Amino acid sequence: MLRVAPIKNTLLDGATITEQLYTTPKDCEDFFESLEKPTEVKATPRSTFIRAGVLTTVLGSAYMEYGNTKVLAIVAPPRELMRSSARRMNMGVLNCYVNFAAFASGELETVPEREKHLGGMLTKALEPLVCRNEFLNFQLDVRVLILDDDGCLLSTAINCCGVALVECGISTYDIITASTACIYKNLVFVNPSAKVEELLGQHRGADSAQMEEHGLLMNASMDTFEQLAQCQQCGYMKPETFVKLLDYTLEINKSLRQLIRRVLTDRVKEQHVLDKKEQEAERQEDERLAGIIARLKEQGLHEFIQSNIKEDPYTKK
Amino acid sequence: MAYVALSEAEKTFILHGVEEDFRCDGRSRRDYRPMELETGLVSNASGSARLRLANTDILVGVKTEIDVPNPLTPEFGKLEFFVDCSANATPEFEGRGGSDLAQELILSLQKAYESSLAFDYRTLCLIPGQQCWKLYIDILILECGGNLHDAVSLAAKAALYNTKLPRVTATLLDAGVTDLIISDNPYDCTRVGIDAVPLLVTVCKIGDYCLVDPSAEEEVCSTVSMVVAVSMRNNTGRCGGYKMLRPFITKFLSTAYLSGTHMTGGGSMHRETMLNCIQLGLSIGEQLNSLLVKMLKAEEQRVGPKRPKTVGFLK
């Protein structure tokens, strides 16, 4: 990994020795060499697993695995706004909180900053999705727990939250899907892994004498009306490259959308079967009770009570 | 963003104005409001700028410090942004009310300046691998009249242009330890290169149209806006054979690059609309950049290295 953590050794008398780890800009290149490079751009999502309704304690929950990235999203029903200052807006308020599990990422130092940043971006991406006019003066809390980080965090979180929102029964305008693509050293990586993302973050070692585009694009789209809910780009690139990456992500979003649709319809069917079973059980219970009542009418009350009295084993002694 | 109460009728009025390409203050959709820019007015900072864009008032100060560079990038200096939304800008910023907005501004600036192609971090290098400059760019929002992203980035660029780093000479002592000697002469200084420093342009969508530089009222009417960071860069490397002509060629060769974009405002837009927004942002950013550089140079020529004594800070 490319992380640099200067280790401080504090001596007894209070003096410190800072131990410099021997990392050089060449490490970036070695790191890049060690990466698996794509030979062609395949705009397909990683192997994905999504399941809605994984928790019974909250109304809306979803779990998603996108390759090795694992994310859990929780949506609670809207509750009344506490702060009166935000009340005068004509829309409900959406709050997103992102948390890293303690074991999710190797680097702990920047975690609070990343959590804040991801939370902010997630809120921005979900705001166009939720029908916020339906819960005026209410706030909706969306919580995301990241269990494992292998790149594409924000886009996976958006996908997962979209499913959790539907599961919770919050009205949304559409199904949201998101994906990430990046460019580094003229190579396009779709669904970049954590390593590639890290390399992009540390890119600054590159030689600026030769013009090299680098950057990352995250795109969340709602395909029914071909709307983009969020499109975020960082790095340095030409507008043409931007369009190229945008189209790759849109294509991935399309296939993800089919998957999410299937997951949601399956979930509804599953729920339907469960409901039917419950109805069946209820019907049987009703039948049993009806039988008892019928017997009661036949036998007369006194006999029925006598037949139901069981001798108490303690008083018998 | 600052909250302005508008009735439906007022919103419709603004919307119709935008459709007619004749906004409330008489501008067209591609016009900026008048700007006032002053540099070098904070004597305690290495560089400073104050920008007033109609009602938006921004003060930027640049402080310098010597730091140790990141071992991965031994030749690079460091930048750090800080935005303070003071409570006298709008009452909502009182307490912690402005922290979300400040966070957003810091993030968009950080992202825009992140790439070494957007900001030449090499000019901040003192001794590779050992010492570098760290610039603290402190941004103070004095008044909030819409379009903060653009105003903040313009002011930051102007402040960077104004920044004077004292000249440093190094002497080598025993065991590879270096000693820095900072020049006593306040006029003996180096400058920071700002050629490729990005500007943020907010393209705001009202009704079916996109416009730049929204006022606070227009921001309330907009459904979604796109913040585009535009960095102008000339690829001088390509015309190596024509060294004589380079100054003439570069003028035309400098192209606009994106160094960070994101959508804000809680709405969504179509792919084509977004690409139009980016196109508009790029062309506006290009004009804005050349104008800013021109004005900064003109101011420097007129005022010279020493500022005439000014009485009162906010005139």
Query: Which of A109, A173, A233 is the best mutation test for B, with the most CBs of B within 10 A?
Result: A233
B101 band by pLDDT with thresholds 50, 70 and 90: confident
Percent of chain B residues past pLDDT 70, beyond the cut: 88
Closest listed residue to residue B248, CA positions, set B230, B256, B236, B259:
B236
Q: Which of A203, A210, A227 sits opposite B270 (nearest CB)?
A: A227
CA B252 to chain centre: 23
- Any domain includes B313: no
Closest listed residue to residue A144, CA positions, set A61, A221, A218, A69:
A61
CA distance to partner chain B, nearest, from residue A96 (Å) = 13
What is the total count of domains within chain A? Answer: 1
How does strand A69-75 pair with strand A176-184?
unpaired
| CATH number of the domain to which B18 belongs | 3.30.230.70
Closest listed residue to residue A135, CA positions, set A80, A216, A203, A53:
A80
Query: Which of A20, A202, A204 is the best mutation test for B, with the most CBs of B within 10 A?
Result: A204
Q: Tell me if chain A has a CB within 8 Å of the CB of B286.
A: no
- Please judge whether A222 and B282 are an interchain contact, meaning their C-beta atoms are less than 8 angstroms apart: no
Q: Given this model, what pLDDT does residue B59 score?
A: 93
- Sequence-distant (≥ 6) Cβ neighbours of residue B26 within 8 angstroms: none
Contacts A127 to B, Cβ<8 Å: 266-267
3-state SS, one letter per residue, for B231-298: EEECCHHHHCCCCCCHHHHHHHHCEEEEEEEEEECCCCEEHHHHHHHHHHHHHHHHHHHHHHHHHHHH
Q: Given this model, what pLDDT does residue B250 score?
A: 47
- Please judge whether B120 and A120 are an interchain contact, meaning their C-beta atoms are less than 8 angstroms apart: no
Q: What is the per-residue pLDDT across B67-84, written as a single tens digit (0 to 9) for each? A: 888 877 788 888 999 999
- Any domain includes A166: yes
Given a cut of 90, is residue B152 above it in pLDDT? yes
- Any domain includes B315: no
Listed as ranges, residues in chain A with pLDDT below 70 are: 1-28, 83-89, 203-211, 316-317
Q: Given this model, what pLDDT does residue A98 score?
A: 93
Strand partners, A64: A50, A71
- Any domain includes B311: no
Q: Given this model, what pLDDT does residue A268 score?
A: 92
Q: Which of B3, B71, B271 sits opposite A23 (nearest CB)?
A: B71
Round to whole Å and give the CA distance between A274 and A280. 10
Domain boundaries, position A134: 23-272
* Tokens representing residue A57 in the block: 């304690």
Given a cut of 90, is residue B120 above it in pLDDT? no
Per the listing, tokens 């009205």 go with A171
A297 or B281, greater pLDDT: B281
Q: What is the per-residue pLDDT across B8-17, written as a single tens digit (0 to 9) for each? A: 899 999 999 9
- Any domain includes B238: yes
What is the total count of domains within chain B? Answer: 1
Query: Which of B268, B283, B284 is the best mutation test for A, with the most CBs of A within 10 A?
Result: B268
B227 band by pLDDT with thresholds 50, 70 and 90: very high
- Any domain includes B159: yes
Domain boundaries, position B25: 8-303
Q: Which of A120, A228, A234 sits opposite B269 (nearest CB)?
A: A228
- Any domain includes B147: yes
Q: Tell me if chain A has a CB within 8 Å of the CB of B110.
A: no
| CATH number of the domain to which A34 belongs | 3.30.230.70
B235 band by pLDDT with thresholds 50, 70 and 90: low
Q: Given this model, what pLDDT does residue A103 score?
A: 85
- Any domain includes A160: yes
Given a cut of 70, is residue B251 above it in pLDDT? no
B309 band by pLDDT with thresholds 50, 70 and 90: low
- Please judge whether A236 and B115 are an interchain contact, meaning their C-beta atoms are less than 8 angstroms apart: yes
- Any domain includes B314: no
- Please judge whether A24 and B74 are an interchain contact, meaning their C-beta atoms are less than 8 angstroms apart: yes
* Tokens representing residue A74 in the block: 């929780």
Q: Given this model, what pLDDT does residue B237 score?
A: 45
- Any domain includes A69: yes
ipTM entry: 0.84
Mean pLDDT of the residues in chain B: 84
- Any domain includes B191: yes
Q: Please give the residue of chain A at the shortest CA–CA distance from B106.
A: A117
Q: Which of A85, A212, A237 sits opposite B258 (nearest CB)?
A: A237
B243 band by pLDDT with thresholds 50, 70 and 90: very low
Given a cut of 50, is residue B283 above it in pLDDT? yes
Q: Given this model, what pLDDT does residue B180 score?
A: 81
* Tokens representing residue B47 in the block: 């560089």
For B199-220, what is the mean pLDDT?
91
Given a cut of 50, is residue B197 above it in pLDDT? yes
Its pTM stands at 0.84
Q: Given this model, what pLDDT does residue B256 score?
A: 86
Q: Given this model, what pLDDT does residue B204 score?
A: 92
Closest listed residue to residue A180, CA positions, set A195, A163, A197:
A197
- Any domain includes A62: yes
